[in-house]
Structure 1
Amino acid sequence: MKTFKLKLLNVMEEKDGEIIPHRIPLIDGLIINREDDKNQWTVEAYVESSYMPYFEQLSKNKDEILIQVKITKESNDTATFITSIIGMNEIGSNMNVLFLGNIVDRRKANIESMLTTLIEEGYQGKELLKKFKEIT
């Protein structure tokens, strides 16, 4: 397992057909790459206890919760995860919320999207490979 500092947490919410980030101010947090056979990660966010009703409602209404996080440094790109809430605990006047999920590999999705577009444009075989190399 590898443990990293959690620097940002956004819960992605759908509103009027759009996905909008809801930033959750962190007091502290960790993200753990469990390095298991399911490629699961655990995200622990330590936040103000006023967020307890929000996370309780989220947990009741959704089986899968899309979150974005920044790991280690604020300057890093966000990583997107499909998660579920596996626990919430009051800790003094604050709380923690635990997510378990898998990282979404956006690079792979982008590559698949580019290839699909090129195939739809009629490229195939060696021409497809040549055009793909040109745009990447």
Structure 2
Amino acid sequence: MKTFKLKALNVMEEQDGEIIPNRIPLLDGLIINREDDKNQWTIEAYIDHSYASYFQELRQLKSEILVQVKITKESNDIATFITSMISINDIGSNLNVLFVGNIVDRRKANIESMLTTLIEEGYQGKELLKKFKEIT
């Protein structure tokens, strides 16, 4: 297992057909690559207790929760996860929320999208490879 500092947490919410990030201010947090056969990660967010009802309601309404996180440094790219909330715990006057889930490989999705577009534009074989190298 590998453990990293959780620097930012956004819970993605649907509003009027759009996916909007709801930034949750962190007091502290960790993200753990469990390196198991399911490629799961554990996300632990230590937050202000005022978010207790928000997370309790979210847990009741959704079995899968899309979250975006920043790992280690604020300057790092956002990583997106499809998660389930496994627990909400009172810790002193604050709250600990645990998620488990899988990372969404956005690079792979972007590459697949680019290739699909190029194929739809009629590129094949070596011409497809050449054009792909030009745009990446």
Tell me, yes or no, if structure 1 residue 32 matches structure 2 residue 32.
yes
Aligned-residue offset at 1:125: 1.5
CA distance in 2, matches of 1:133, 1:91: 51
Aligned-residue offset at 1:29: 0.3
Other-structure match for 2:92: 92
| Correspondence 1:8-19 to 2 at 5 A | 8-19=8-19
Q: Secondary structure at the match of 1:74?
A: coil
Give the total of aligned pairs: 136
* Structure 1 residue ranges (4+ consecutive) displaced by more than 4 angstroms after TM superposition: none
TM-score by length of 1: 0.98
**Unpaired runs of 5+ in structure 1?**
none
Question: Deviation per CA, 1:76-118, whole angstroms, max 9, x where unpaired?
Answer: 1111100010011001110100000001111000000000000
Q: Secondary structure at the match of 2:26?
A: coil
CA distance in 1, matches of 2:17, 2:10: 18
Other-structure match for 1:113: 113
Other-structure match for 1:71: 71
Other-structure match for 1:80: 80
Aligned-residue offset at 1:41: 0.2
CA distance in 2, matches of 1:62, 1:120: 36
CA distance in 1, matches of 2:56, 2:11: 13
CA distance in 2, matches of 1:63, 1:124: 42
Aligned-residue offset at 1:55: 0.5
CA distance in 1, matches of 2:70, 2:128: 35
TM-score by length of 2: 0.98
Q: Secondary structure at the match of 1:60?
A: helix
Aligned-residue offset at 1:18: 0.6
**Unpaired runs of 5+ in structure 2?**
none
Percent identity at matched positions? 82
Other-structure match for 1:61: 61
CA RMSD of aligned residues (A): 0.6
Letter in 2 for 1:33: N
